[in-house]
Structure 1
Amino acid sequence: MSATANDILFHQYDISPFSEKVRVAFGIKNLEWYAVEEPVIMPKPELTALTGGYRKIPVMQIGADIYCDSQIILRELERRFPEPTLFPAGDTGLAWAVSMWADRVLFQNVVAVIFGGGPSIADEAFIKDREKLTGRPFDTEAMKQAAPMMAEQARAGLSWLEDQLADGRAYLTGEKPGLADAAAYYNLAFLRWLNPAGLKVLESLPKTAAWDERVRGIGHGKRAELNNKDALAIAKAATSQTKEKADPNEPNGLKPGDTVSVMADDYGRDPITGTLVASDAQSIAIRREDPQVGEVVVHFPRAGFFVMKG
């Protein structure tokens, strides 16, 4: 495989839990993609040149269109590659709600179990990086204190999966896998990689344990490798395919041509500034320039992100 502006370039690292959610979607859709390995901690000079400062993983690049956050990546994958769908039961809204729960609630439970419930796996550089990312102390001692309670919370959430699977269905919404499966599953994969003792909870959740193995068996589609310098060169040689689009229902009167800043509402709150190209209830795209990549359009979700004019 030789990468082009039409290919999926996936900026990730292998133990990134949110990248795993997208990799399962690649498997569901049987897609070909290039892994562009990025550092776990800062600095990430090639990535931030593409995004304008956004540093979180994963980021998907297709030519000069850059998609930040797994939510917008999955929306774009479904738009470009609608079959097999990520919504096999026609439960689009419900699946997105499950995904947000998995990202915001279950994930935080699992993080506490991983970093507080076993041997220390966070060195000083990682701790300092995550403190800058979150804007608060990365207190492993506090996590150790909280780990038993968070394990209880994680079990409660996973028990909902057990309830959903109680009728013998293969996946959370039926006989075919979709977004809900990828979103819930990546948390178990994260435990498996960094604190496999945390998977003991599955001993009391046999249907969830079997489902976990089924999702794991989906695989990641067809993966190849690409270095990040080549990814930047592809962006610089390409032209964004995003068309200007105004949102008639935009609640704050934003329109194409406005200068806006976009930032996550939870952590990694680095504002990315550019010119608004297109927006709707679930997405916003801004145009920006960088000497290393030329002109690119950077895409973000609206849920979980703030957009500020000026």
Structure 2
Amino acid sequence: MAPNDHSVILHHFDESPFSEKIRLVFGLKNIAWTSVRISRIMPRPDLMPMTGGYRRTPVMQIGADIYCDTQCIIRELERRCPAPSLFPGGNEGLASASAMWTDKSFFQNAVNLVFGSLADKVPQSFIEDREKLRGAKFDVAAMKAAIPQMRDQFRAHVGWIETQLGSGGPWLGGGAMGLFDINAYMNIWYVRSNLPVADELLAQFPNVRAWETRVRAIGHGTRTEMSTAEALEIGRRATPQTIEVEDPHDPNGRTVGDLVDVRPDDYGKIAVRGRIVALSAQSIAIRRHDDLAGDVVVHFPRAGFLVTPAA
């Protein structure tokens, strides 16, 4: 079936560990999706008009609704495609919160280990791009010097996974695969994909190695390809489907129609400006207009993001 205005489109690049999370969700839920491959570094002239400047990877597009950050993307995929569930044994709160471990401390450990090990092979253009993204020096020399400490920390993180797998079943949540597994697998996959020493690093963890094979076998669902220009055209001609939702318990009194800036709180702190359409404890959606993309609604999670009144 040809992609249409309601197709699930993922803007990603194949080497992205965060994108691998979403590709695995597609596999677990047997979702047919459209792949739009973006550059690993800027510019991304067809994507930025839709996101309003948000430049972390991946981004999911469904018509003129744009979903940023894996937290937000996963929540929407679970809502649209509830079976099989990402929370087969319950524990939705803990499974969702596990991203604060896997996406932050565990991911930073994996990044430092990978780039410290690659060191001299990292292109200068990539270093310069990541320095702009992070707002700080991307110091591969320092990462290389820290490899012994990063190996220690990687071992500690993987050790937690090994212990959990040894106590409750073939999956981290028990008898069925779920979000716990997808979150934790990301960094194992990232190290495995980049470092020949992955076998050595994982040798003492038989439960993890067997689990890694099971996760990989889930696959990525049914994938077709589309150009960035085609995706932008779909967004331009579509109408956002998000309905207005107030949050009566918003601790700062925000309301539908407020003009706000939304940005990550750690890196890639580029503000996206728009008027609130929907608001909850876990998500915020803002409407914005772009001359190339038309009217879009951009969705963000609340955890890990800052919402401030537009100046």
TM-score when normalising by structure 2: 0.98
Pairwise CA distance, 1:168 = 6.1
Structure 1 distance, partners of 2:43, 2:199, is 33
Q: Distance in 1 between matches of 2:5 and 2:100?
A: 30
Could you say what secondary structure the match of 2:146 adopts?
helix
1:114·1:198 contact (CA, 8 Å) conserved in 2? no
2:215 aligns with 215
C-alpha distance in structure 2 between counterparts of 1:159 and 1:62, whole Å: 38
The amino acid that maps onto 1:262 is: V
Contact 2:168 2:174 in 1 (8 A): no
| Matching of residues 68-83 of structure 1 within 5 Å | 68-83=68-83
Structure 2 distance, partners of 1:131, 1:223, is 32
> Residue 67 of structure 2: SS of its match in structure 1?
strand
1:9 aligns with 2:3: no
**Residue 110 of structure 2: aligned partner:** 110
Q: Give the CA deviation at 1:117.
A: 2.4
Are the structure 2 counterparts of residues 55 and 118 from structure 1 closer, same or farther at C-alpha, using a change threshold of 3 Å?
closer
SS in 1 for 2:278: strand
Q: Which residue of 1 aligns with 2:193?
A: 193
Mapped to 2, the partners of 1:274 and 1:119 lie a distance apart of 40
3-state secondary structure, aligned to 2:121? coil
1:119 to partner: Cα distance:
5.3
Q: Is residue 110–residue 191 contact of structure 1 (8 Å, CA) maintained in 2?
A: yes
Letter in 2 for 1:235: G
Matches of 1:211 and 1:145, distance apart in 2: 31
Please give the alpha-carbon distance, in whole angstroms, between the structure 2 residues aligned to 1:299 and 1:168: 35
Q: 1: distance between equivalents of 2:140 and 2:119?
A: 11
1:251 partner letter: P
Deviation at 1:145, TM superposition (A): 1.2
1:53 corresponds to: 53
Unaligned runs of 5+ in 2: none
1:96 aligns with 2:96: yes
CA distance in 1, matches of 2:168, 2:275: 50
CA contact (8 A) 1:113 1:151 kept: yes
Measured in 1, the distance between the counterparts of 2:160 and 2:100 equals 15
Asked whether the equivalents of residues 119 and 141 of structure 2 are also in contact (C-alpha less than 8 Å), the reply is no
- Alpha-carbon RMSD: 1.0
What amino acid is the match of 2:295? E
Unaligned regions of 5+ residues in structure 1, if any? none
SS at 1:71 equivalent: helix
Report the CA distance between 1:56 and its aligned residue.
0.9
Q: 2: CA distance between counterparts of 1:197 and 1:143?
A: 16
> What aligned pairs does 1:1-310 form with structure 2 within 5 A after superposition?
1-118=1-118, 120-167=120-167, 169-310=169-310
Question: Per-residue CA shift, 1:56-85, capped at 9, x if unaligned?
Answer: 110000011000111100000001111101
Q: 8 Å contact 1:99–1:179 — kept in the other structure?
A: no
Paired AA for residue 78 in structure 1: E
Instruction: Report the alpha carbon displacement of residue 189 of structure 1 after superposing the two structures with TM.
Output: 1.1
Report the 3-state secondary structure (helix = DSSP H, G, I; strand = E; otherwise coil) of the residue aligned with 1:211: helix
The answer to whether the Cα contact below 8 Å between 1:113 and 1:198 also exists between their aligned partners in 2 is no
Residue identity over aligned pairs, in percent, reads 51
Distance in 2 between residues matched to 1:18 and 1:33, nearest whole Å: 16
SS of 1:34's equivalent in the other structure is strand
Cα distance in 2 for residues equivalent to 1:66 and 1:119: 35
Read off the aligned partner of 2:104 and give its amino acid letter.
R
- Separation (CA, whole Å) in 1 of partners of 2:199 and 2:288: 44
Tell me by how many angstroms 1:111 deviates. 0.7
- Output the TM-score relative to the length of structure 1: 0.98
C-alpha distance after superposition, 1:19-38 (max 9, x if no partner): 00111111110100000011
Indicate conservation of the 8 Å contact 2:51/2:298, yes or no. yes
> Partners in 2 of 1:193 and 1:121 — Cα distance?
15
Whether the 8 Å CA contact 1:117–1:148 is kept in 2: the answer is no
Aligned residues of 2:274 and 2:288 also touching (Cα < 8 A): yes
| Cα distance between partner residues in 2 of 1:265 and 1:161 | 27
